Amino acid sequence: MERAEKIETILTFEVPPGYREGERLDVYLTRSIQNATRAKVQRGIREGRVTVNGRVATKASYTVQAGDVVVCRVLRPPPLVIVPEPIPLDVVYEDDDLLVVNKPAGMVVHPAYGHRTGTLVHALLHHVGGRALAVEDLEDEEETDDEAVGLSLVGAAPAGPGDPALRPGIVHRLDKDTSGLMVVAKHDAAHVHLARQFERRTIRRRYLALVWGHPDPPEGRIETHLGRDPRDRKRMAVVRPGHGKTAITNYRTLEHMAHTALVEFRLETGRTHQIRVHARHLGHPILGDPVYGGRQIRHGPDTGRRRAFFANLFTRMPRQALHAGTLGFTHPRTGAALDFTAPLPGDMQHVLDRLRQVEGES
């Protein structure tokens, strides 16, 4: 596929009067620009693409001050245009207001610069008979509405400078490699009603996961603050109060194998990577999780034979063993309580069966 020629985008950041963190310029911009890396920011500074208060910045180590105006000239691919694609969908429920879909592992929810095709949104647009959608369409409210697109446009536009994503219909998300149930809004009124249920924590969401070891106690509640991992901006971490958002997860152990367990997680909040980070925080990472330590032997003997056994399992399931198995909410139009269940996908069921057969019960 031919690469889209990049275009220059101007991003302006006005450092607020109350800013007292004293960060380096490269650190400040890496935190402020969506999908930026420190190496790319440093290269942009060397190339003269960053100014501070009207002067070209010459040092990445410049200490950012309150009241500074930082302007960056960033090279990015052209704006996204979502074209409907005939991708098969597992539609669990559908009416005039919403859909419930069972998302497979490996499918990205919405398009961004790294995923311009093949996402759930591309499939949804085709399914509802919607038309192509671009950022410019969302800026012209008189010309574009949810009826023309076939999906809600609430929150569909990019969230801010440097955010490339388009999210028509998306009320909540799952990680690319997490499978399971999602509700999608077909129009704005349904979206607002469903979003309010998420905000009020009345949505019923339960996930199934295979974890290393046996949580002790076997049932409990985890309440922490989650934020970006200061050592790796692509990961989330448990952070000090005031440095992240409150995250609450309830868990219950359903089954013990010798050195692993099948655990149900129930979310009260919906932070990025919440279950995965909280499982690691408990000392029981999700099996197969490549980001949060789930692909190493964490419990039980670390022998060559056992390493080979798990290597074979991770070849069959090259992702975290996490599945959004149940979803319940109040229908935005009728007020009826709707609850849905999706069975474990084949790869995760295979791993569970093999753990039962080879390692046996605790």
How far is residue 283's CA from residue 346's CA, in Å, rounded to a whole number? 27
CATH code linked to domain 81-198: 3.30.2350.10
Q: Compute the C-alpha angle 269/275/278, nearest 5°.
A: 100
Which positions ≥6 away from 55 have C-beta within 8 Å? none
Decide if 145 contacts 153 (C-beta within 8 A). Answer: yes
Annotated active-site residue 95? The verdict is no
| The predicted structure's pLDDT at residue 1 | 38
What's the rounded Cα separation, in Å, for the pair 127 and 117?
Answer: 15
CB contact at 8 A, 274 and 205:
no
Q: How far apart are CA 223 and CA 281, in angstroms?
A: 11
CB 344 within 8 A of CB 310: no
Candidates 18, 34, 28; CA nearest to 59 is 28
pLDDT at 94: 97
For CATH 3.10.290.10, the residue range(s) in the chain are 7-76
Pairing of strands 81-82, 69-76: unpaired
What CA dihedral angle connects 115, 119, 122 and 124, to 10 degrees?
-160
- Tracing tokens 């759930």 back to the chain, one arrives at 120
Q: Would you say domain 7-76 falls under CATH 3.40.1390.10?
A: no
State pTM to two decimals: 0.80
Sheet containing 50-52, strands listed edge to edge, beginning at the edge strand earlier in sequence: 7-14, 69-76, 50-52, 55-56
**Residues shown for the chain:** 362
Q: Cβ-count burial of 94 within 10 angstroms (0-12 exposed, 13-18 middle, 19+ buried)?
A: middle
Q: Where in the chain is the domain with CATH 3.30.2350.10?
A: 81-198, 204-359
The C-alpha atoms of residue 57 and residue 336 are separated, in whole angstroms, by 58
**Average pLDDT for consecutive 10-residue bins of the chain (362 residues)?**
63 88 90 82 93 94 94 78 92 97 95 81 93 74 69 79 74 95 96 95 96 97 92 85 91 97 95 96 97 94 95 96 98 97 97 94 68
CB 233 within 8 A of CB 260: no
Query: One of 175, 177, 289, 347 is an active-site residue; which one?
Result: 175
Instruction: Please say whether the dihedral angle defined by the alpha carbons of residues 210, 216, 222 and 227, taken in this order, is positive or negative.
Output: negative
- The fourth-level CATH superfamily of domain 204-359 is Pseudouridine synthase (3.30.2350.10)
Alpha-helical runs (H) found in the chain: 25-32, 38-46, 120-127, 135-139, 146-149, 188-199, 274-282, 304-316, 346-354
255 beta partners: 262
Token pair in block for residue 90:
């597992």
Q: Find the helix packing angle between 304-316 and 346-354, rounded to 10°.
A: 160
Query: What sign does the CA torsion over 317, 323, 325, 329 have?
Result: negative
29 phi, psi to nearest 5 deg: -70, -35
